[in-house]
Amino acid sequence: MAGGARLAEKTPLQVAPVLAPGEEAANEILAPLNFGEAPQSGILGDTGTGKTTTANAIVNRWLELSPGIVIVVDDKERRSRFVGQERRDIADLVVRPWDPNGRRVIVLRGDVAAGVDADPEQAAELAWRRAARGRATYVVHDELVAGREKIVKARQWRKGITFIPRSFTKGRAAGVGDLWGAQSPQDVPIEPFEQSNGLIVHKLAGMGLERLRERNYLNGSNVGEVIERLPGMERPPNERGPCVLLVRGQPWNGKIYRFAVAS
């Protein structure tokens, strides 16, 4: 396929594939915006494989295509990996409203130094309150399940968690989009898989790949082998980042993408 890397017999470790621009993949998963619908998409991969770089690029493209705002739940590290108006939580956002003249990205940080996580359910609830006023929102869960025992356990949403699953099942028509990340797809509930219009997958193996196969994302190709051999932590940082785009029930398009690192 022109512009991509169709690998029938050789793996990415045996050849130097022509990498397609990540912008192509971003446009594919954000395509529902062309029809006035909210996209639901996931980014999967082992730690250190480039998921956050991919997420940032998709957020930037969403901002170009939509007049709404982005709410990012990013509480992993002392410094945010997303550029935006940082707030501790929704209560802090009430006290310090976001600046409409600033970047249309609100980053909920919790208190990393104190070990206080941000609340993904509050982020989803705010998106639904905005939806009631006809305002589009893109919620980014930098990590949907790992370390989120208050949200998910044994692939099930915890009791009282309603706005996050509602976003996946009803957000498309309401203007509530989601971009979710996960290192361990095997721990993700069923709704994100069944409702996502596309998954971007970095290096992944084992149970994570099995879950993609179970969810009908690895049809009719050697894409599972390709995913296993994408560059990961065993490679220098400047070689990581290649990924593929998967659509449930459809064959892999044969392309390997890479998103540019923001300067």
List the structure tokens of 156.
């099930």
In tens digits, the chain (263 residues) has pLDDT values of 334 444 444 444 443 467 999 999 999 999 999 999 999 999 999 999 999 999 999 999 999 999 999 999 999 888 999 999 999 999 999 999 999 999 999 999 999 888 899 999 999 999 999 999 999 999 999 999 988 999 999 999 999 999 999 999 999 999 999 999 999 999 999 999 999 999 999 999 999 999 999 999 998 789 999 999 999 999 999 999 999 999 999 999 999 999 987 65
pLDDT of residue 119: 95
Torsion of CA 165, 169, 175, 178, to 10 degrees: 50
Q: How far apart are CA 162 and CA 174, in angstroms?
A: 15
Q: What is the pLDDT, as a whole number, of residue 262? A: 64
Q: How many CB atoms lie within 10 A of CB 117?
A: 19
Lookup result for tokens 């600033």: 102
Q: Are residues 145 and 44 in contact, defined by beta-carbon separation less than 8 angstroms? A: no
At 260 the pLDDT is 86
Who contacts 77 (Cβ-Cβ below 8 Å, separation ≥6)?
112
Q: 181 near 44, Cβ under 8 Å?
A: yes
The one-letter code for the residue type at 47 is T
CA angle (78 as vertex; 40, 143 as ends), nearest 5: 25
Query: What type of residue sits at position 75?
Result: D
The H or E element that residue 73 is part of is: strand 69-73
> Partners of 245 in the beta sheet?
200
Ordered by where they begin, the domains of the chain are 20-258 (3.40.50.300)
Look up the pTM and report it: 0.91
Give residue 63's Cα distance to chain centre: 15
How far, in Å, CA of 102 to CA of 241, rounded?
29
| The two structure tokens encoding residue 94 | 């009430």
Torsion of CA 245, 247, 248, 251, to 10 degrees: -90
What does DSSP say about strands 198-201 and 40-44: parallel, antiparallel, or unpaired? parallel
Rg (CA), the chain: 18
Q: Which residues pair with 40 in a beta bridge?
A: 178
Interatomic CA distance for residues 174 and 39, integer angstroms: 11
